[in-house]
Amino acid sequence: MMIVIDLIRGRGVEDALTILHFSPKHAAKTAEKVLRSAISNLQSKDEGGRVDTATMYVKEVFVNGGPMVKRIQPAPMGRAFRVRKRSHHLTIVVATREAKAAAKPAAPKPAAAEEPAPKPKKKATKATKATKQAPKIETKES
C-alpha cells in the first residue's frame, strides 16, 4: 500500500486519479476509491458550490496499521504456524490551492526569520600574504 500511496503524495487530484486508475497494483483500486470519496467530501463541504478539481491537490496521505485477524496454518510434526492477516487504515486529505498570482505578493518573507547570509570572503592583500608566510631565518658565517 505504501508504494502506491507514495506515488500520489503532493500531486494534483486529476494526476493522482490517473496514476491510481492505471496502476497495476491491487492496492491502487482501494486508494482510488478513498481519493474519490475525499474529493466528494470536499465538494459537498464547500458552501459556495462545486470546487474546481484543477485547484485541488493531495495534501496529506498516510497508512496506519489496522486490526489483525490471526489464523493457524498446519505445520509439519504436529506443530502450527500463526498466520496474521493484516489490514490497514488509509487516510487521504485533499485541499485546494490558492491562486498563484495572489499568493506571491501577499506573503513577503520576513527578514528576521531567515538566517543571515554568509559574509563574502575578502581578497587577500599583500600585507596579509606576508603574514601568512613563514619567517626567514638569517645566519652569519664566520
What residues form DSSP beta bridges with 83?
Answer: 71
Predicted local distance difference test score (pLDDT) of residue 45:
86
Predicted local distance difference test score (pLDDT) of residue 131:
45
What residues in the chain have per-residue pLDDT under 70? 49, 99-142
Predicted local distance difference test score (pLDDT) of residue 102:
45
Residue in 67, 65, 45, 66 with CA at minimum distance from that of residue 56: 45
> Which CATH code of 3.10.450.50, 1.10.3720.10, 3.40.50.720, 3.90.470.10 fits the domain covering 2-98?
3.90.470.10
Q: Quickly count: other Cβ atoms within 10 Å of residue 17's Cβ.
A: 19
Give residue-wise pLDDT tens across range 63-92: 999 999 999 999 999 999 999 999 999 999
CA 115 remoteness from chain centre: 24
Pairing of strands 88-96, 56-65: antiparallel
The full set of domain ranges for the chain reads 2-98
pTM attached to this predicted model: 0.64
Predicted local distance difference test score (pLDDT) of residue 22:
96
Predicted local distance difference test score (pLDDT) of residue 53:
87
Predicted local distance difference test score (pLDDT) of residue 130:
47
